Amino acid sequence: MTLQNDKLSFTTKKKQLKEKELFLAAYNLFLENGIEKTSIDDIAKNAGVAKGTFYLYFNDKYDVLNKLILQKSNEIIKEALAKTNDLGIENFRQRTLFFIDYIVNYLKCNVSLLKLINKNISWGLYRKAVMTPQEYEDVKKVLDIFIKNLTDDGMEKEEAEMTLFMIIELVGSVCFTTIILKEPTDIESIKPILFKKILAMLTI
């Protein structure tokens, strides 16, 4: 039984390694060449696997892209949460603004990643965190705290969830448009207005 378990463990690790290599290859190619100019052949070749192996893990390159967006968004949110916690701010609204500011600055310093994520550090991640909380534990924690603070202040849960949705969408869209397109202005110029609007949305 031990030998059989060892074989299963080895097989599982081998599969995980191949999937990780495909992820990394796709990520680097998407950043370097763009999504449209990257083919499945390119991803498989750069990962050092056969093209058929790609389809054991993903349906197509957009399947990889969607999973990469979730993965990278999750990583950013985990990092922002850790930095917010390190600061020790107790006020909910101040914590929220610091958290959002950290994400905005992160994306500003990682333009290639922002182009890949596009405006999709958004509702998809929220839904994924709700459906698979064990995989997105830190994201779920942020969302739960946010909604709890609003409901504790007297907001209905449904309204709190919709407020969260609007803030996530607003931040994602504003970051993409101002950092990538520089429209209607740059991110630093619009940030005070963005934060003012977010604070207004958090006020019961």
CA nearest neighbour of 101 among 119, 87, 118: 87
Q: What angle do CA 121, 126, 130 make, to 5 degrees?
A: 155
Mean pLDDT of the chain: 85
pLDDT band, residue 201 (cuts 50/70/90) = very high
Percentage of the chain beyond pLDDT 90 is: 50
H/E element holding 200?
A: helix 187-202
pLDDT(136) > 60: yes
pTM: 0.82
pLDDT(126) > 60: no
Looking at per-residue pLDDT, the higher value among 23 and 140 belongs to 23
pLDDT(123) > 60: no
Q: pLDDT tens digit string along 144-172?
A: 888 899 999 999 999 998 898 888 888 98
pLDDT value for 22:
94
Q: Is 99 exposed, middle or buried (0-12, 13-18, 19+ CB in 10 A)?
A: buried
* Exposed e or buried b per residue across 101-116, where buried means at least 16 C-beta atoms within 10 angstroms of its C-beta: bbbbebbbebeebbbb
Q: Which amino acid is at 82?
A: A
Looking at per-residue pLDDT, the higher value among 36 and 119 belongs to 36
pLDDT band, residue 177 (cuts 50/70/90) = very high
Looking at per-residue pLDDT, the higher value among 73 and 119 belongs to 73
pLDDT(5) > 80: no
Percentages helix, strand, coil for the chain (3-state, rounded to 5) are 80, 0, 20
Domains parsed from the chain with CATH numbers? 1-58 (1.10.10.60), 68-202 (1.10.357)
pLDDT value for 119:
54
pLDDT value for 130:
55
- Please, are residues 110 and 175 in contact by the beta-carbon 8 Å criterion? no
pLDDT(120) > 80: no
Looking at per-residue pLDDT, the higher value among 167 and 117 belongs to 167
Q: pLDDT tens digit string along 79-110?
A: 998 999 898 888 999 999 999 999 999 999 99
pLDDT value for 10:
55
State the Cα–Cα distance between residues 25 and 49, nearest whole angstrom.
Answer: 11
